[in-house]
Each structure stands twice: as structure tokens, then as C-alpha cells.
């Protein structure tokens, strides 16, 4: 088939959840023999010609990311019933580029990666009504906003944010309903997300394709870095609200309990664009905020314990898949591990409260052999259920079903 993918950013290097998922899908579809085109926003920080994407795609077109001022966001909040994310990537240049491409090329299938790019789905449907349109939902976004609001309501200093997220949750739910109803097919990344999106479809049909990774890219040893014997690692895009909340909660409420028993413990917060609220954490000698790194593998492979203290989120956390593939012993909240198959959840320690989380980390820090055993079990589980070699056949079946529907 001739397939077009629309993405919010160039999916290479595959850093971050959306890029990791999209890169795996592109590579898998290309290796399956499909002819691919890619249209995305890109800031030219990476030369497209230097990436493997040119091997997978017959056509690649990039456009500068749109700029949106705070006043524009406030106007949308005050004078529109649309969610904030519906205006985040609105671009006349993108619409012009799509118009040209759709006028010159006929596609069998067009896939929208994430809700931010799905704003273009009605426009594309009008331009090529015969093409099958797929919405690939990175999250059930309205559920994510509801969970953010619930956490923020518990903090008096965040009540204003809780009100904002509550408003956004309602608006996003209406927008997601429109997109899911208009698309020919919807793909969710977890059973929980699929269940949340199913009422938005007249036929109740939502396909399931978990997030995946290329496990060998993480299992292969990297050049060593010295993090110490009791290194804790947390990774992610560090201006993303759920990750910021997790880092603050862990550092302020859990890490002090761990250090009372294990005083040599040091936390590494690894990820691009650290939010300003995290800067103060880096003043502690036992916390290092790395910012952007070329690869997360060296940190994951040297971690004594990988921590995922997420209190808000949806979908399947790719950060956990990366940690599992790297052979990490993992302590995670049930929220962080939601969406994973039971075999994967069994290969990590789950803890909900601050004390339970701290105790689970301490027990692993004091038992290196258990770290190794848990890491090996995690690596086995992620290879079986979340390597792209296991997931691409599922995607091909989904595409075939939608194409023939």
C-alpha cells in the first residue's frame, strides 16, 4: 500500500515516546514492503538526509514548527470550546503542503500520529475521501488530563492548575470523540486506553497496538559511565507535566527515606528540557539533572534501580520498555505500569505509597543479586511482548482489516 504518516516532529533520533513509536512503525511498514511518505514539523536540528528515514520513506517533507504566543492560548481558552492542544500545531503552511501532496499523490492509507496531528484529519478527509484514515492515539488524552487534575487537586498550590486541567479534560473528550468518529480506524496503545476511546466510535471498535522498541538497541552494551553503586535513574522529557510531577514527588517525599538507609544513593534525572521547577533539585549533591543526552542507554545500563514514580499518565510508558530492555531492576507505581501485560508487570516491583516505594527501592539496593534477577526477567518479558518484531505483524493485520472494511 501507499501510506502517508503525519507526525508532530521528525521521528529521528527516536528520543521520546512519540518518536520511538513512530520510528518503529515507519521501519516496520517499510520492511514489510509498503511505500511510505512522511510529513512532519521539524526545526532542522538534524539533517533529514543523514537519518535512516530516507531509507524507509519514498518522500519526506518537513515544515517549521508553528509559533503560538501565550495570548493566543488565552484567547482559545476564553473564547473557544476547543482544547489547547487543538491549536498547538495549527499551521497554514502544513495545510498548504498537504494540499499540494494530496493533489499530486493518491494514498491508500493516511495515519495521524497523536491527537495534535489529528487536527488535520477533517481537512485530509475532504481532500482524499477514498483514503483510509487512521488515528494512532498515543494516549487517551482526556483520561490523562483528568488524572492530572486529580493529582493537582491534592496540592493547594496547584488548585489553579487543577481547574485548568478539569476544563481541558472536558474539551479534549469532545475533540477526541469527533476525531475517533471521523477516522476509519483508531489504534490505542493499551487495553485501558482502548476501553476509554471505545465509546467514541459508533461501532465500538478500537484496535490495540502497544508501544514497542527494538530491544537489541538497548541490550547491546554501551561505553561505561560511572554513576556509583547505588544510582537511581529516571528518564523522560522533563518539561512534560507527568514527568515533572514524578521527579518532584520522588525527590521531595521518597528519596529522603531511601537516603536515611542508603546514604550513598544518588538520583539521575535524565531527559531534555528540564522544567524550571526542577532546577532547585539539582542543587542537592545527591541529585543530578543531566538535560539532553545523546543516548539513555549508558545511564540505564549503569543504574542500580530504575524508578518510575508516575502519579499521572495514560497509555504504555516507553520509558519502562527502555529500562526493561536495558536489564534494569525497576520500581514503578501502578499508574506507571498500567497498560503493560501481567508478565511485564511481574518483572518489576510495584509500589503506590511513598513508604512502599522507598522500601522497595531500599530492598533492591541492598540486594544486588535480586537486581540482576529482576533485570533479566524484565529483559525477557519486553523482548517477548514489546519488541517491534512481535508487534509489526499485529500492525499489518490492523491495516489490512481497516483497508478491507
pTM of the model: 0.89
Characterize the bridge pairing of strands 231-235 and 132-136.
Answer: unpaired
Query: Could you tell me if 320 and 332 are in contact, meaning their C-beta atoms sit under 8 angstroms apart?
Result: yes
Same domain, 189 and 253: no
Q: Any idea what the CATH number is for the domain that residue 334 is in?
A: 3.40.50.2000
Same domain, 382 and 395: no
Q: CB atoms < 10 A from the CB of 216, how many? A: 11
Same domain, 228 and 197: no
Same domain, 64 and 142: yes
Same domain, 257 and 153: no
Same domain, 201 and 318: no
- Residue 315 has a pLDDT of 55
Same domain, 136 and 247: no
Same domain, 235 and 346: yes
Same domain, 195 and 267: no
For cell 472494511, name the residue: 405
Cell of 130: 477514498
pLDDT in tens, the chain (405 residues): 999 999 999 999 888 788 999 999 999 999 999 999 999 999 988 899 999 999 999 999 999 999 887 777 877 777 788 898 888 999 999 999 999 999 999 999 999 999 999 999 999 999 999 999 999 999 899 998 888 888 888 888 888 888 888 989 899 999 999 999 999 999 999 999 999 999 999 999 999 999 999 999 998 888 778 899 999 999 998 998 899 999 999 999 999 999 999 999 999 999 988 999 998 888 899 999 999 898 899 999 999 999 999 998 765 688 999 999 999 999 999 999 998 999 999 999 999 999 999 999 999 999 999 999 999 999 999 999 999 999 999 999 999 999 998
For cell 531527559, name the residue: 271
Domain count, the chain: 2
Same domain, 131 and 274: no
Domain of residue 225, residue span: 216-386
Same domain, 81 and 12: yes
Same domain, 238 and 186: no
Amino acid at each position: 500500500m501507499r501510506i502517508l504518516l503525519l507526525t508532530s516532529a521528525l521521528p529521528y533520533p527516536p528520543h521520546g515516546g512519540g518518536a520511538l513509536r513512530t520510528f518503529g512503525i515507519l521501519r516496520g511498514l517499510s520492511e514489510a514492503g509498503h511505500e511510505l511518505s512522511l510529513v512532519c514539523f521539524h526545526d532542522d536540528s538534524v539533517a533529514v538526509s543523514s537519518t535512516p528515514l530516507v531509507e524507509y520513506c519514498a518522500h519526506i517533507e518537513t515544515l517549521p514548527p508553528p509559533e503560538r504566543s501565550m495570548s493566543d492560548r488565552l484567547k482559545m481558552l476564553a473564547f473557544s470550546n476547543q482544547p489547547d492542544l487543538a491549536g498547538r500545531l495549527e499551521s497554514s503552511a502544513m495545510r498548504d503542503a498537504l494540499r499540494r501532496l494530496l493533489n499530486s499523490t493518491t494514498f491508500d492509507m493516511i495515519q495521524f500520529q497523536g491527537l495534535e496531528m489529528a487536527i488535520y484529519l477533517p481537512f485530509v478527509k475532504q481532500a482524499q475521501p477514498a483514503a483510509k484514515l487512521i488515528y494512532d492515539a498515543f494516549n487517551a488524552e482526556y483520561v490523562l488530563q483528568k488524572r492530572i487534575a486529580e493529582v493537582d487537586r491534592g496540592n493547594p498550590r496547584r488548585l489553579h492548575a487543577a481547574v485548568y486541567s478539569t476544563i481541558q479534560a472536558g474539551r479534549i473528550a469532545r475533540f477526541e470523540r469527533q476525531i475517533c468518529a471521523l477516522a476509519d480506524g483508531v489504534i490505542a496503545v493499551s487495553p485501558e486506553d482502548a476501553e476509554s476511546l471505545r465509546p467514541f466510535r459508533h461501532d465500538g471498535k478500537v484496535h490495540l497496538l502497544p508501544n514497542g522498541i527494538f530491544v537489541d538497541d538497548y541490550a547491546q552494551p554501551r561505553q561505561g559511565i560511572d554513576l556509583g553503586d547505588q544510582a537511581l535513574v529516571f528518564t523522560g522529557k522533563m518539561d512534560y507535566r507527568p514527568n515533572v510531577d514524578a521527579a518532584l514527588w520522588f525527590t521531595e517525599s521518597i528519596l529522603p527515606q531511601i537516603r536515611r538507609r542508603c546514604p550513598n544513593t544518588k538520583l539521575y534525572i535524565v531527559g531534555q528540557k528540564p522544567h524550571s521547577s526542577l532546577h532547585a533539585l539539582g542543587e542537592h549533591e545527591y541529585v543530578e539533572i543531566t538535560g539532553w543526552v545523546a543516548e539513555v542507554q549508558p545511564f540505564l545500563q549503569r543504574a542500580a534501580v530504575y524508578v518510575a514514580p508516575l502519579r499521572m499518565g495514560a497509555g504504555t510508558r516507553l520509558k519502562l520498555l527502555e529500562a526493561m530492555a536495558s536489564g534494569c531492576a525497576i520500581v514503578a507505581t501502578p499508574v506507571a505500569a498500567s497498560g503493560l501485560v501481567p508478565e511485564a508487570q511481574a518483572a518489576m516491583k510495584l509500589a503506590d505509597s511513598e513508604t512502599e516505594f522507598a522500601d522497595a527501592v531500599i530492598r533492591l539496593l541492598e540486594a544486588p543479586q535480586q537486581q540482576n534477577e529482576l533485570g533479566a526477567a524484565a529483559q525477557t518479558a519486553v523482548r517477548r511482548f514489546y519488541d517491534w518484531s512481535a508487534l509489526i505483524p499485529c500492525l499489518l493485520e490492523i491495516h489490512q482489516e481497516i483497508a478491507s472494511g
